[in-house]
Amino acid sequence: MTGTALVTGASGYVGGRLIPALLAAGWTTRALARKASRLRDHPWAADVEVVEGDVLDPVSLRPALAGVDVAYYLVHAIGSGSGFEETDRTAAKNFAKAARAAGVRRIVYLGGMTPEGEQLSAHLRSREEVGQILLDSGVPTAVLKAAVVLGSGSASFEMLRHLTERLPVMVTPKWVEVKIQPIAIRDVLHYLVGAATLPTTVNRSFDIGGADVLTYRDMMQGYARVAGLPRRRIVGVPVLSPGLSALWVGLITPVPGNLARPWWRA
């Protein structure tokens, strides 16, 4: 079963890789962008309908969602400043209302995995809230919750790669011992495409992750081993704050500090 799929966040890491996967699965695909010119250099640009719109502009969502069977919500305001939670909340409500009015059959959202019984960071709290807004939209919704998505070009992978390659010895904050369940981008895409064909009775969240539960230390040492590098010396320092850690990451890697900071608080 296929039809027309709308991908928001098409210029992002996951959205830009989801579109060819949807095309390969037989979906007629529409990409939403604030500026169509941002998508013209993608290899799939000629194979999709590009529409201009903004999730913060409800009027622009009407033509974008017209005739859409499945709508992928892959946008978030992380890194936009201290008010990103309110921005995410408003955007999700706009999209939920517009999708219901357009008769969309299903919404698929990629959120963050949230550990039970722990205080959530602002980043994860916002991801959780957005997922709930979409689940309450009246449109059957699949919320896929992932921890760290690994693949060439992803912020998480590039941060891991650059830290490991450039620093044989590193002093890190306590997040280096945080246990996570990373997942490869190819598996994320498999779940995203598959979620489009779930029965209309399904309106719930799903945790998605790889088979291994690892710490950041484990992943850095694993990368060093695969890359043929000597074992890294990683010294954890509990007093190194997320803010200082983000600045450090920004100096060593191409990942901006304002994107790195929320992960250390996750």
Q: What is the pLDDT of residues 114-141, one digit of tens each?
A: 777 667 677 788 889 999 999 999 999 9
Q: What is the pLDDT of residues 103-114, one digit of tens each?
A: 999 999 999 887
Q: Distance between CA atoms of 227 and 8, rounded to whole angstroms?
A: 35
Q: Distance between CA atoms of 39 and 36, rounded to whole angstroms?
A: 6
Q: What is the pLDDT of residues 234-248, one digit of tens each?
A: 887 765 555 555 555
Q: How far apart are the first and last CA of the chain?
A: 37
Is residue 50 left, alpha or beta, with left meaning phi > 0 and alpha meaning psi from -120 to 50? beta
Domain ranges of the chain: 4-147+184-208, 155-178+212-264
pLDDT given at position 18: 98
Q: Distance between CA atoms of 127 and 88, rounded to whole angstroms?
A: 8
By DSSP bridging, strand 179-180 and strand 214-215 are antiparallel
pTM of the complete model beyond 0.75: yes
What is the helix (H) or strand (E) element at residue 134, kind and residue range?
A: helix 122-135
Mean pLDDT of the chain: 86
Could you tell me if 227 and 195 are in contact, meaning their C-beta atoms sit under 8 angstroms apart? no
CATH topology of domain 4-147+184-208: Rossmann fold (3.40.50)
